Amino acid sequence: MALTLGALMCFCLAWLFMLKPRKFVSLFTLGSVMAMASFAVLNGPVNHLKHICSSERLPFTVAYFGSLFATLYFSISVRSTIFTLIFGAAQLVALLWYYTSYLPGGTTGLRFFSKFFIKTVKTTLPV
């Protein structure tokens, strides 16, 4: 319960730093880690680790943790706002993918809307 509340608090407080992208993304990343830890506590750490490392979840795991570490690296070490925002967005997409995969029809709906979004962007923007 404390991890879930901590994650919610980090997500809410992150919006106060909207004009400072590196601080925003760092706080959002902390909230994201707490949210993932709360799932691990609810399912049991070993079971959760087995679950996210299964063959069907492995792409998510690589995308999520890769974007998580890249976000922190570019935010804290390199201090590059552009790369921080890029990997922060990738982290958000991976986290949404994770959450929607637990909803009935969530993954199918996410695929539908992502294809719709990509098709709309391709037809709207001259690429």
Model confidence pLDDT, tens digit, residues 60-99: 889 889 999 999 999 889 989 899 889 988 988 888 887 7
Q: Which region holds residue 54: left if phi is over 0, alpha if psi is between -120 and 50, else beta?
A: beta
- Average pLDDT of span 44-66: 87
- Of 17-26, 40-49, 109-118, the one with minimum mean pLDDT is 109-118
pLDDT of residue 104: 63
pLDDT of residue 66: 93
84: nearest Cα among 72, 97, 95: 72
Global pTM reads 0.69
- Beta carbons of 25 and 85 less than 8 angstroms apart: yes
